[in-house]
Structure 1
Amino acid sequence: MSTRRKFIKISALGATFLSGGFQFASAFGGTLRQGKSNKPVVISTWDHGMPANEAAWKVLTKNGSALDAVEAGVRVPEADPNVRTVGYGGYPDREGKVTLDACIMDKDSNCGAVAFLQHIKHPISVARKVMEDTPHVMLVGEGALQFALSKGFKRENLLTPASEKDWKNWLKESKYKPVINIENHDTIGMLALDANGDLAGACTTSGAAYKMHGRVGDSPIIGAGLFVDNEIGAATATGLGEAVIRMVGSHLVVELMRQGNSPEDACRLAVERIIAKQKDVKDLQVGFIALNKNGEYGGYCIHKGFNLAVQDKAGAKLLDGKSKF
């Protein structure tokens, strides 16, 4: 767990990037100069976003679409059993069942989602099939599973020995309490701007560890866990989903960018609004990342410990997020 929080320190930010003429005003979130657009670019949440970005970048550098890039990117942690909060190997609910949530959204406001999906390793790809092959936005539970199987997805056991062992240890006391900045709710959200200047986003998770059976967080909910407006920008969330849902958080971030705020400021204002509605945020973590139409990016969270993975023409980097506390 500790290795997940050994951040890569970035010392070169704030200097001019020779490859593109960009200058960033801070170590987290950028301000472009000379009217240039930073594209393509992909950003994602947490350090497991680094290998995810690498996969997305391969798509973007071949003039692939932002939509194809974000799907390819988040499939990486979905298939990695060492990422205990996404897909295969994710922590189960209190009944020992791994249940997955995901959504995807493209430049034309098309979107698809699945929630409470079991036995399918790549919920993001099922969500895309919902978007492209049905008249619906979201399928859940058994219906989502039946749909996935009908589309050729393989039924698998997603509970790894490591996650099963941790669940059995948890059962000894069966106490549920979300703990910030540990492997309890580290969703991966990813946003991309492709060479054509189009945006897309994806979000996928196994949800809060040892949640009630049937619980669904913000990650598959368009407007909460993810929102894309190709005229303005895109945002995605991580942290405790209930707090994000109550504020329709990602939509709020995009609307704040529409009002003229930078991606970082929009994320900060959304976080501050969540804080204002809470009686106590000592044990609550929520973070947002955002990407605007010009390729400027940023993020903000309640407590320190959150980070953002970025890949653009200047290279790949993991940045510590700014926080309220």
Structure 2
Amino acid sequence: MTSNDSLPPVLVTGAAGFIGAYVCRALRARGEAVIGLDNFNDYYDPQLKRDRLAALCPDVEVRALDLCDREGLAALFDAHRPVRVVHLAAQAGVRYSLENPHAYVDSNLVGFVNLLELCRHRGVEHLAYASSSSVYGDSATPPFSEDQRIDKPRSLYAATKAANELMGYTYAQLYGLRATGLRFFTVYGPWGRPDMAPLLFSRAVLAGRPIDVFNHGRMRRDFTHIDDIVAGVLAALDRPPPGGVDGVPPHRVFNLGNHTPVELERFIAVIEAAAGRQAQKVYKPMQPGDMVETMADTGRAREALDFEPRTAIDDGLPPVVAWCRDYFGEAA
């Protein structure tokens, strides 16, 4: 491994998060210097975030810092002078945005503007930031293409992510800040978020608890393995948009998904096989804010980033179940 530790570090926000910790590990594995930040909020157990960091990227310094702390954020930029930023920090979750909207405004809007301003004024060469498949809302039909409209979100979370893309475009247009938005599609893997279906279902099946199956199971998701997502993030980071060619702002958006939606019942069946137990399914109506189906058109990412997801759920889900058994125990 060739070391680039003498170069300015890559700043990774949300470094203790699921995708963030894996991105930090991958950057370190190829010799990059990395500095991380995370506010370690209690949306889910902060101890899981600390354990995740210790397991995946123990040699990365991660500062406890909130994006709304403008002075603290500026001090971090001034101390480390990053020229590339991977922005993954956000208040996540579709359903929680119905309960605590202010958390989404603070983190996803105010925090993003704070970051954009520092990228603009501190000479950042490329900002790769997280968007979400949720932005498609009611405006698009599968497969979701980056050319489809995103003006009918189904949740405040989705609205903030769509706003991030508009903000990124604006800073690219006004100030020449090179920025790339990445629309993630239902990311899963070991050390994942405990509020998402892969971990919720795996833990419940292992413990013999019932699981809520919304829309009576008539849902399809483009489940995308963390390894494929990380490959896409690094490829995007390495390929900043061309700067102001023919008057086009240096801003691009890519879908990062598996392009293979899976029926929810099929997804549960794979978990059951890996756990060696049947799920106790409680069928319920559709939840507000949810989408019936997600499916990524990945043609643009394939062409520009050589993005080619390789992990099917039959290969990717059993290690998640095994990790849940190891980390939480079967009764958790």
**Structure with a larger share of its residues in strand:** 1
**Structure with a larger share of its residues in helix:** 2
TM-score (norm 2): 0.30
Which protein shows a greater Rg? 2
TM-score (norm 1): 0.31
